[in-house]
Amino acid sequence: MPVSQQIVVVGAGEVGQHLARILSKGSHRVTVVDTDPEKIRLMNESLDVQALVGDGTRPEVLTHAGVVKASLLIAVTNNDHVNMLACLLGRQLGAKRRILRVQDTGILDGYHNFYRDTLGYDVVLSTSELAAREVIETVKERHALEVETYCEGKIQLRRLRQPEGELLGVPLKEMRLTGKVVLVGIQRSTDPSRPFIVPGGDDSIQAGDQILVMGEASDLDAFEREVGKHSALKREVIIMGAGRIGRAVASKLSNTHGVSVKVIEHDSSRARALEQMGDDFLVLTGNATDLELLREEHIGKTDVFVATTKDDEDNLVACQIARVMGVGRTVAIVNKASYGGIYDLMGVDLAISPRELCAKRIMRLVRASSPRAVSILAEGKAEVLELEVRLKEPTTIADLNLPPTAKIGARMRGDTVSVPGGGETLKTGDRVIVLSLSDALDEVEAILTGEQTK
CA dihedral of residues 361, 366, 369, 374 (deg, nearest 10): 40
Q: Any idea which of 34-43, 164-173, 398-407 has the lowest mean pLDDT? A: 164-173
| Pair 125, 108: CB distance under 8 Å | no
Mean pLDDT of 189-206: 88
pLDDT of residue 43: 94
For residue 338, pLDDT beyond 50: yes
Top-level class of domain 139-227: alpha beta
Strand partners, 261: 237
How many of the other CB atoms lie within 10 Å of CB of 213?
24
Domain residues of the chain, as ranges? 6-121, 139-227, 233-357, 366-449
CATH architecture observed for domain 233-357:
3-Layer(aba) Sandwich (3.40)
Please report the DSSP string for 347-404 in residue order: T-SEEE-HHHHHHHHHHHHHT-SSTTEEEEEGGGTEEEEEEE---SS-EETGGG---T
pLDDT of residue 2: 43
> Check: CATH 3.40.50.720 for 6-121?
yes
| Pair 40, 65: CB distance under 8 Å | no
Mean pLDDT value across the chain: 88
| Pair 69, 96: CB distance under 8 Å | no
pLDDT of residue 1: 41
CA distance 140 to 398: 37
CA distance 438 to 423: 25
- At 165, is the pLDDT very low, low, confident or very high (cuts 50, 70, 90)? low
Percentage of the chain beyond pLDDT 70 is 95
| Pair 346, 318: CB distance under 8 Å | no
What is the fold of 366-449?
Answer: Alpha-Beta Plaits (3.30.70)
Mean pLDDT of 333-357: 83
Contacts of 202 (CB under 8 A, 6+ apart): 171, 172, 173
Please report the DSSP string for 49-96 in residue order: SEEEES-TTSHHHHHHHTGGG-SEEEE--S-HHHHHHHHHHHHHHT-S
pLDDT of residue 113: 83
The residue with greater pLDDT, 340 or 345, is 345
pLDDT of residue 142: 53
| Pair 367, 342: CB distance under 8 Å | no
- 116-142: pLDDT as tens digits: 999 999 999 998 888 998 898 788 765
Element (H, E) at 411: strand 406-413
Which strands, in side-by-side order, build the sheet including 382-388?
373-377, 382-388, 431-437, 406-413, 416-418
- At 77, is the pLDDT very low, low, confident or very high (cuts 50, 70, 90)? very high
For residue 249, pLDDT beyond 90: yes
- 13-27: pLDDT as tens digits: 988 998 898 888 777
- Answer whether 6-121 and 233-357 agree in fold: yes
CA geometry: angle at 30 spanning 28 and 34, to 5°? 165
pLDDT of residue 403: 95
pLDDT of residue 232: 53
How many of the other CB atoms lie within 10 Å of CB of 8?
29
Label residues 331-352 b or e (16+ Cβ within 10 Å = b): bbbbbeeebeeebeebebbbbb
* Burial class of 64 by CB neighbour count within 10 A (0 to 12, 13 to 18, 19+): middle
- 364-399: pLDDT as tens digits: 788 777 777 888 887 778 889 989 899 999 999 999
